[in-house]
Chain A
Amino acid sequence: MPAAAPETAASRYPPKPGEPPVVFDDVSIRFDRNEVLRNVSFKVNAGETRLLLGPAGSGKSVLMKLANGLIRPDSGRIFIFGYEITAMSEDELFELRASVGMVFQEGALFDSMNIRDNVGYQLMERHISDDEVDRRVEESLKFVELDKTMEKFPSELSGGMRRRVAIARAIIAKPSLLLYDSPTGGLDPITSTNIIALVMKQRDVYHTSSILITHRLQDAFMLATHYFDRDKNMMVTLPSGEADRDTSFMLLHEGRLVFDGTTHELVHSDDPFLKEYLA
């Protein structure tokens, strides 16, 4: 990944300068009679990483899909790079999504395509030459340290490798916003740490704004208390008591955003639910 600049110049919806990448304004959604999100409002600033925590079924994945326009809220407004996606047509959203990368819960790789075609899918859809696609796919796979898997199929890879391929696919078009839906869910601790290192690398090297859902508190705190050292190509712990300034937390509980603040505010909160959740 040589350049950090997002490749969205050709898009009809390039990120508006000065506008926050994500704004949720009083968003609610229900499925049948079940209210999944209720009056959720928050903002993601440029270069910021928001860690979204919450018990299972609290509406985290729904929030992520709303942020990418994959589902529409019943009420409230959502802005991505200053564009109100709740008022955009599906065709307009397809263009806007050129600036957004998304990593799905189970990777969601296309099982009938090999890794090269999976990762290069977005470029192939834009009719970029095969040589260029090969070069970019290799570059992207190198970033996730899987450059030897180009010809393999998703079924031939382990769960952790599939997530890394999903990250490679999400970053190949150099998006300005990344949405990670439980990228470490169901993985062993070592693989989870490797995935978190990749997320951290994307955050600290390319300063891409992101929202990350995780059930694993240790992953969230690792992101908050470490930084990626480009020279050593590894994670390094921040000095004791310090937390990454561009990383903050949100906590969903029963469809409501019950916490939105910094790492320090989270660990020092007196809220009984937060204390119980973090315990």
Chain B
Amino acid sequence: MMVHRRVDPTNQCFFLILSPRDGIPVCRYNSPMPFATLDSIARKSVRSVQDYAILSGRAIFNLFRQPRYVDDIFSQADIIGVGSIPIVILTGFFTGAVLAVQSASSLATFGATALTGTLVSLSMIKELGPVLTSLMISGRNASGMASELGSMMVTEQIDAMRALGTDPIKKLVVPRMVATVVMNFFLTIISDFVGILGGAWVAVFLLGQSGSQYFHTTYQSLVYADVVQGLVKPVFFGFIIASVGCYFGMSTRGGTQGVGRSTTQAVVFASVLIIVIDFIITRFMIGIFGR
């Protein structure tokens, strides 16, 4: 098939393709220039942000309205929370261990290896615990939500639910949102705890430091502001994971290929959003607490 550029005399067609069968030119792109699609991309992006905001707003609004699907909240909490415990423990433990190894070698330069516990605990509680836990939960659950709701969308199960008189936001989105926010909060605490234990394991068994000194400096270095910062973040991140996962699931179009696309997009957007919002929350918290 031959492709000719700008041979359309009316200049309305960017590419004319000559049909191999009869040689009749067929317009491939109805645009005088490829960048004319920029406006449609911008429109689509704005519409997506609007749809996401509407879905999130409706989910929050429906938190306070009947009917409440408490059983579904517990079922989702089991899938999202209990099901994620192994990966959160492994990630937290080895992150703490790596932090201890890295910080100990740097601190040794200044003869301050006694501060290993301080570094590990502050890094884990303020930053790595919430962010890494949320990224793991996002990889596991935002994708799960997007693919599950996406499959329901393309097989008309969501429409069937609406036709049967059930609001899919109340039945599907709200339970996932509540479960993710609550479980992400507790999973972050678990991650922080095992991260500090991972650091202790390295400090005591590999670096030969005193265990009591490690835990003492860990405890002494933490103040109220650090703990608040570490516990506020997973609440926001949990909301991002569930809302992004559900949004991409509920906006799935185009069969199984669309489900795959939604799943990938949900993980990518949720992960990027977590890191961006982390920066904003950190800046805000430092502004309030001064550290």
Residues in chain A within 8 A of chain B (CB atoms):
65, 68, 70, 90-91, 94-95, 97-98, 100, 102, 104-106, 108-111, 121-122, 125, 169
Which of B155, B157, B160, B167 has the most A CB atoms < 10 Å from its CB?
B160
Within 8 A of A (CB), among B81-133: none
**New A-B pairs, 18, CB < 8 Å, besides A70-B162, A97-B162:** A95-B165, A97-B164, A102-B160, A104-B156, A104-B159, A104-B160, A108-B155, A108-B159, A110-B152, A110-B160, A111-B151, A111-B155, A121-B164, A121-B166, A122-B165, A125-B164, A125-B166, A169-B164
- In the bound complex, CA of A105 to CA of B159 (Å): 11
How many residues of B are in contact with the other chain, CB < 8 A? 15
B163: Cβ under 8 A from any A Cβ: yes
- In the bound complex, CA of A112 to CA of B83 (Å): 18
Q: Which residues of A contact B67 (CB under 8 A)?
A: 125
Residue of B nearest to A95 (CB): B165
Q: Which of the residues A100, A108, A125 comes within 8 Å of B160, measured between beta carbons?
A: A108
- In the bound complex, CA of A126 to CA of B214 (Å): 57
Residue of A nearest to B40 (CB): A32
A169 to chain B, nearest CB (A): 8
CB pair A110–B162 under 8 Å, yes or no, is: no
CB pair B156–A98 under 8 Å, yes or no, is: no
Which of A91, A94, A169 has the most B CB atoms < 10 Å from its CB?
A94
- In the bound complex, CA of A106 to CA of B166 (Å): 20
**Nearest 10 CB-CB pairings of A with B:** A108-B160, A108-B156, A102-B163, A94-B165, A97-B165, A104-B156, A122-B164, A108-B157, A70-B159, A98-B165
Q: Which residues of B contact A110 (CB under 8 A)?
A: 152, 157, 160-161
Within 8 A of A (CB), among B268-288: none
Residue of B nearest to A96 (CB): B165
Which of B151, B156, B159, B165 has the most A CB atoms < 10 Å from its CB?
B165
B283 to chain A, nearest CB (A): 38
Q: Which residues of A contact B167 (CB under 8 A)?
A: 90-91, 94
Q: Which residues of A contact B156 (CB under 8 A)?
A: 104-106, 108
- In the bound complex, CA of A111 to CA of B149 (Å): 12
Q: Which residues of B contact A105 (CB under 8 A)?
A: 156
CB pair A65–B159 under 8 Å, yes or no, is: yes
B146 to chain A, nearest CB (A): 16
Residue of A nearest to B171 (CB): A125
- In the bound complex, CA of A98 to CA of B156 (Å): 18
- In the bound complex, CA of A102 to CA of B161 (Å): 10
Within 8 A of A (CB), among B56-75: 67
Q: Which residues of B contact A68 (CB under 8 A)?
A: 163
Q: Which residues of A contact B152 (CB under 8 A)?
A: 110
Residue of B nearest to A121 (CB): B164
Q: Which residues of B contact A121 (CB under 8 A)?
A: 164, 166
Interface string of B21-38 (1 = CB under 8 A from A): 000000000000000000
B65 to chain A, nearest CB (A): 9
Q: Which residues of A contact B162 (CB under 8 A)?
A: 70, 94, 97
- In the bound complex, CA of A105 to CA of B162 (Å): 15
Q: Which of the residues B151, B155, B163, B166 comes within 8 Å of A70, measured between beta carbons?
A: B163
Q: Which residues of A contact B151 (CB under 8 A)?
A: 111
Q: Which residues of B contact A125 (CB under 8 A)?
A: 67, 164-166
A126 to chain B, nearest CB (A): 9
B48 to chain A, nearest CB (A): 15
A96 to chain B, nearest CB (A): 9
- In the bound complex, CA of A97 to CA of B168 (Å): 14
Which of B159, B163, B165, B167 has the most A CB atoms < 10 Å from its CB?
B163
Within 8 A of A (CB), among B153-211: 155-157, 159-167
A121 to chain B, nearest CB (A): 6
